């Protein structure tokens, strides 16, 4: 699998990562099989969050592989904090407590990347900065990022941080493209022209922040997969045509569509099916033409101005 550099860091990761939200539902044996197959396919970044399975996903992950120094050096562990039951919390106290909990469950001394999980309307950037500095200086966290934040939210945070933001995790799939639509419909008087995220994609490219695409197979907000869904006949037909032409699965083509974007976006796939994950990983070897990319974009129901 091809590697990409994450933001302005010295971390190089496979261009496709594995989201571990559903790992809490697996047995230790099945979880180990998923992780081993992922690494064999070149997937080495594993995305967690303290809320996934109420913390159980992190625990199952570490226990399944028998976490030790040798294994730990071969993977990049990313986790997130900030979502609590009924509210968001970017307080210094919660960030520090959350990281200690993740470290304990993951059976490791350090987190490679810590993301703030969705924006907290009540966050104080000075407090976040203090927490990040404590975590960095103690060696508990090496790099930092955010998820679902717009440019001004990132600017406010960066003004106070000593560390770089290297990741912004944003929803993106062929059928969920607002960050792309707005750039294609500049100065137009219709819905796709609405800038819903403040220009997050361009901001991240300008500031060397890697965009990670979550829910790359979902429509709506985790309302279900669009692949094989009868409600999306045109895009599925085109995905199948390209899959047959290139000798891969339709899921691999859907990921290749994201990888084709010059922003070096890293998809976060959440499958716990080892075979499907290996099939998806083949997207790294597929490069869609410009014409094919736009054909899929249009097949998803989008229109060009």
Distance CA 235, CA 30 (A): 32
pLDDT of amino acid 291: 98
Shortest CA distance to 203 belongs to which of 164, 151, 166, 155?
151
- Which pLDDT value is given to residue 49? 98
Helical segments of the chain, H only:
28-40, 56-65, 69-72, 92-106, 125-138, 151-158, 178-184, 200-206, 233-246, 250-259, 274-281, 290-299
pLDDT computed for residue 223 by the predictor: 82
Alpha-carbon gap, residue 193 to 170, rounded angstroms: 19
Answer for the pair 46, 20: CB distance below 8 angstroms, yes or no.
yes
Domains of the chain are 3-299 (3.20.20.100)
Q: What is the pLDDT of residue 249?
A: 98
For residue 167, the tally of other CB atoms under 10 A from its CB is 28
User: Can you tell me whether residue 180 is helix, strand or coil?
Assistant: helix
Question: What are the backbone dihedrals phi and psi of residue 190, each rounded to the nearest 5 degrees, phi first?
Answer: -150, 170
Question: How high is the pLDDT of residue 61?
Answer: 98
Please confirm, yes or no, whether 110 is among the known catalytic residues: no
**DSSP of 44-68:** -EEE--TTGGGGHHHHHHHHHHT--
Q: Which residues of 12-22 are buried (b: 16+ CB within 10 A; e: fewer)?
A: ebbbbbbbbbe
10-residue stretch averages of pLDDT, the chain, 305 residues long: 97 98 98 98 98 98 97 98 98 98 98 97 98 98 98 98 98 97 96 96 98 95 90 98 98 98 98 97 97 98 96
CA angle 90, 96, 100 (to 5 degrees): 135
Angstrom distance (rounded) from CA 74 to CA 80: 20
Q: Which of 33, 52, 143, 203 is catalytic?
A: 52
Q: What would the two tokens of residue 34 be? A: 């998923």
């Amino acid at each position: 699998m091809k590697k990409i550099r994450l933001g302005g860091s010295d971390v190089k990761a496979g261009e496709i990562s594995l989201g571990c939200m559903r790992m809490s539902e697996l047995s230790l044996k099945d979880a180990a099989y998923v992780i081993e197959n992922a690494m064999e396919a070149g997937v080495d970044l594993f995305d967690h969050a303290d809320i996934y399975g109420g913390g159980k996903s992190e625990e199952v992950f570490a226990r399944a592989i028998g976490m030790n120094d040798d294994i730990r050096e071969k993977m990049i562990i990313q986790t997130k904090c900030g979502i609590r039951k009924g509210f968001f919390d970017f307080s210094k106290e919660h960030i520090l407590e959350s990281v200690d909990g993740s470290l304990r469950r993951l059976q490791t001394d350090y987190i490679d990347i810590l993301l703030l999980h969705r924006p907290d309307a009540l966050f104080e950037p000075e407090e976040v900065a203090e927490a990040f500095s404590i975590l960095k200086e103690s060696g508990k966290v090496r790099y930092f990022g955010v998820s679902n934040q717009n440019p001004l939210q990132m600017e406010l945070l960066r003004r106070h941080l000593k560390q770089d933001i290297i990741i912004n995790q944003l929803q993106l799939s062929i059928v969920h493209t607002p960050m792309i639509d707005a750039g294609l419909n500049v100065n137009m008087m219709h819905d796709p022209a609405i800038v819903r995220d403040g220009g997050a994609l361009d901001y991240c490219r300008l500031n060397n922040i890697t965009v990670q695409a979550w829910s790359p197979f979902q429509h709506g907000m985790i309302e279900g997969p669009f692949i094989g869904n009868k409600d999306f006949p045109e895009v599925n037909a085109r995905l199948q045509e390209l899959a047959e032409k290139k000798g891969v699965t339709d899921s691999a083509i859907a990921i290749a569509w994201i990888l084709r974007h010059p922003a070096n976006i890293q998809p976060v796939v959440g499958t716990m099916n080892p075979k499907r994950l290996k099939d998806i990983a083949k997207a790294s070897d597929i490069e869609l033409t410009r014409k094919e990319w736009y054909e899929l974009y249009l097949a998803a129901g989008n229109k060009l101005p």
